[in-house]
Amino acid sequence: TGVQTCALPICRFAYSRIEKDSREEVTMAKRAYSPKEVLAKKYKTLPWGEKWSGPFGEVPVNETWFISGASASGKSSFVMQLAKELCNYGTTLYLSYEEGISQSFQMRIKRERMSEVQGRFRVITDDTYEELAERLGRPKSAKFVIIDSFQESGITYDQFMELISRFHRKSFIFISQEYKGDPAGKPAGRLKYKAGIKIRVVGYKAYCQGRFTGDPGSCYTIWEEGELRTSNNIEKDEHKETDSGA
């Protein structure tokens, strides 16, 4: 009985310490930042030139991207041009779920001269969530991960959120299909809101709708001839409407 009487205060003391430590951990997790602390935080951004920083701003190297656009808008060409630019800052992994290694994909590789970044550019076509997670966990794995497209990947929104959280030093770039001008499917819509930089491709121009550009009206021209053709077609349609109205 004496042993039991002695042990009871010890148990209460131990429980009290555990409870106190638990409360302290919760308090630390809810830290509030002052404006000075927020402003003092430093971010490593992509050191690209005016051609890219003009329309897209100073983007953190580990930012999440969301790129959408209608079919035949120049979206695929833009993504390949972006991939080549990113190869200047680290290895880029292109997950070609939608096209695979098709002839059109091959032609784009050739047109954008991706052989110039041979050692820093890799393409895969069918990684599952588990395979992709294992691949990204390897030493010297890709710094930039392009998913084309989110809808065809077979990987869920929640699984991608887990990858982004686990590999927070990497940049994930999601390509999305569209339906009536919006990302196709509710998960893609949620993903768009999560992304720091959002780009919509229209008529061979890429417009930034994200948080980093100081000039919302600026754009990146993907293909000048294609842009000119698109503009001419719009003007012709407007003339037709005017003539028919007259």
Tokens found for residue 79: 């993504």
Return d(Cα 132, Cα 137) in angstroms, integer: 8
Across the range 81-104, mean pLDDT stands at 97
Helix (H) or strand (E) holding 179: strand 178-179
Q: Residue 196 has what pLDDT?
A: 92
Among 125, 182, 179, 183, residue whose Cα is nearest residue 154: 125
Q: Residue 43 has what pLDDT?
A: 86
Cα 185-73-89 angle, rounded to 5 deg: 85
Average pLDDT, the chain: 84
Token look-up 């656009």 returns 69
pLDDT higher than threshold 70 for residue 3: no
Q: Residue 39 has what pLDDT?
A: 87
pLDDT higher than threshold 60 for residue 193: yes
pLDDT higher than threshold 80 for residue 127: yes
Which one has a higher pLDDT value, 225 or 177? 177
pLDDT band at 210 (very low <50, low <70, confident <90, very high): low
Across the range 89-118, mean pLDDT stands at 96
pLDDT higher than threshold 70 for residue 4: no
Q: Residue 17 has what pLDDT?
A: 58
Return d(Cα 23, Cα 21) in angstroms, integer: 5
Range with the lowest mean pLDDT among 28-42, 119-133, 213-227? 213-227
pLDDT higher than threshold 50 for residue 244: no
Q: Residue 240 has what pLDDT?
A: 43
pLDDT in tens, 61-75: 999 999 999 988 999
Token look-up 């430590």 returns 21
Return d(Cα 42, Cα 194) in angstroms, integer: 21
Among 146, 50, 49, residue whose Cα is nearest residue 93: 146
pLDDT in tens, 218-240: 799 998 765 555 544 544 444 44
pLDDT band at 38 (very low <50, low <70, confident <90, very high): confident
pLDDT band at 172 (very low <50, low <70, confident <90, very high): very high
